[in-house]
Amino acid sequence: MISYIDARRLVSEAATECVHARPRERERVALELAAGRVLAEPLAADRDAPPFDRSTRDGFAVRAADVAAVPTTLKLVGEIRAGSEFRGEVASGQCVQIMTGAAVPSGADAVVMIEHTEPSAGAVVIRRSVVKGSNVVPRGREAKAGARVLAAGQRMNCADVSIAAQFGHPAVAVFARPRVAILSTGDEVVPVAQLPGPFQIRNSNSISLAAQVTLAGGAPLPLGNAPDDRTALRERIEAGLDADALVLSGGVSMGKYDLVEEVLRELGAKFRFDSVAIRPGKPAVFGLCRGKPVLGLPGNPVSTMVTFELFGVPLVDVLSGTEARPLALLKARSRHAVSLKAPLTHFLPAKLSWEAGDAQVAELSWQGSGDVAALAHADCFLVVPETKLEFPAGEWVDVLLWRERA
């Protein structure tokens, strides 16, 4: 049994091996569809940014030397709006009214904010001095033509999409989303649309895992449910190994009918770990089978979702062609005392709030790892390390943000 931190590292290392063995496919997508995708090629600036000396304020373009002593009056010789051009040069003793985003005219080297001026019959009274470069972004300060502005392997967010648009990239090369096969197991599991019997449950894990795979940047391939039968399970697992990765839920504990590990070993799987020192999620397993990553998660819904966040997200990240995202941990004060016994790192469904500028976290009342209804009210997990299982109310503790709710 290993720590969840070591388990995450092993998942990332194994996924990297797979990427090196089979480089990711690439495709071009329209820029408006690129958010969340991983760049396969770097993007360069096609021109300087800004392409001219740009005013950052509404005001008056001046020669800084003319306003070294204030108040002073300058002759107003024109106006320039964003996107327009001032033909001529600002001479000593002159100024031009300028709007935010407009090009600073020739001869001027600073902008006085309009708040520090007042009009005066064809002239402007300047009441605050400025130095050369005040309220001006010089041409090329943000990026030079030909410079790399986005790196390959970068997952694009809204700012990255804006940068690509600014530098003339209407479409970008991205890595194909990794195909992640999803297979639930258990005789008690029936399709979501089916009315379950008195001792059956609907297949919610396949639905939640498909959502988590999508949010992580992968393409889910649901395979339904395999019964607790060695032959049927083997057939479904072999089908899942056609994808880039396989994620299973259920069948990984120590019960008589927990067959996942046995069948995977028969298929040649080499496990990197077969239990993790966490609750919920201790029975999670991970390895490579026929060169494909296989992640086996416990079947209880809370365990399934917690362990995918811990181990499935970095797996999808690396297979997508980028680095694994760090866990979204922050500090908060616990609203209640906590006392646990099992020497494991616990992830307790919880709710964040803020009081007087401090983050506060409260564990939710829940009935164990099968209580998905409680998880629906959580926006984070209170992390209780195995090295400190008890602490009073008001203690600073670690909180893991749940990406789907953050």
Residues linked to residue 182 through DSSP beta bridges, in sequence order: 222, 247
Question: Beta strand pairing status for 136-137 and 219-226?
Answer: unpaired
| Three-state secondary structure of the chain | CECHHHHHHHHHHHHHHHHHHCCCCEEEEEHHHCCCCEECCCEECCCCECCCCEECCCEEEECHHHHCCCCEEEEEEEEECCCCCCCCCCCCCEEEEECCCCECCCCCCEEEEHHHEEECCCEEEECCCCCCCCCEECCCCCECCCCEEECCCCECCHHHHHHHHHCCCCEEEEECCCEEEEEEECCCEECCCCCCCCCCEECHHHHHHHHHHHHHCCEEEEEEEECCCHHHHHHHHHHHCCCCEEEEECCCCCCCCCCHHHHHHHCCCEEEECCECEECCCCCEEEEECCEEEEEECCCHHHHHHHHHHHHHHHHHHHCCCCCCCCCEEEEEECCCEECCCCCEEEEEEEEEEECCEEEEEECCCCCCCCHHHHCCCCEEEEECCCCCEECCCCEEEEEECCCCC
Enumerate domains of the chain plus CATH numbers. 4-25+176-319 (3.40.980.10), 41-47+143-175 (no CATH), 54-137 (2.170.190.11), 329-401 (2.40.340.10)
CB count in 10 Å sphere of residue 192: 10
Task: For the chain, 406 residues long, give each residue's pLDDT as a single digit of tens.
Answer: 899 999 999 999 999 999 999 888 999 999 999 999 999 999 999 999 999 999 999 999 999 999 999 999 999 999 999 999 999 999 999 999 999 999 999 999 999 999 999 999 999 999 999 999 999 999 999 999 999 999 999 999 999 999 999 999 999 999 999 999 999 998 888 889 899 899 887 888 999 999 999 999 999 999 999 998 999 999 999 999 999 999 999 888 766 657 899 999 999 999 999 999 999 999 999 999 999 999 999 988 999 999 999 999 999 999 999 999 999 899 999 999 999 999 999 999 999 999 888 999 999 988 777 788 888 889 999 999 999 999 999 999 999 998 665 5
For residue 312, which of 325, 301, 330 has the smallest C-alpha distance?
Answer: 325
Peptide bond into 196 cis (omega under 30): no
Closest CA to 391 of 348, 353, 356, 355: 348
Q: What is the rounded distance in angstroms from the CA atom of residue 323 to the CA atom of residue 155? A: 9
Residue 257: both structure tokens together: 């009918």
- CB within 8 Å of 190: residues ≥ 6 apart: 196, 197, 200, 201, 202, 203, 225
Dihedral angle, C-alpha 159, 32, 324, 246, nearest 10 °: 170
pTM: 0.89
First to last CA, the chain: 30
318, two tokens: 């690396």
Give 271's strand partners: 287
- What pLDDT is recorded for position 405? 57
Residues 6+ apart with CB under 8 A from 372: 204, 301, 302, 305
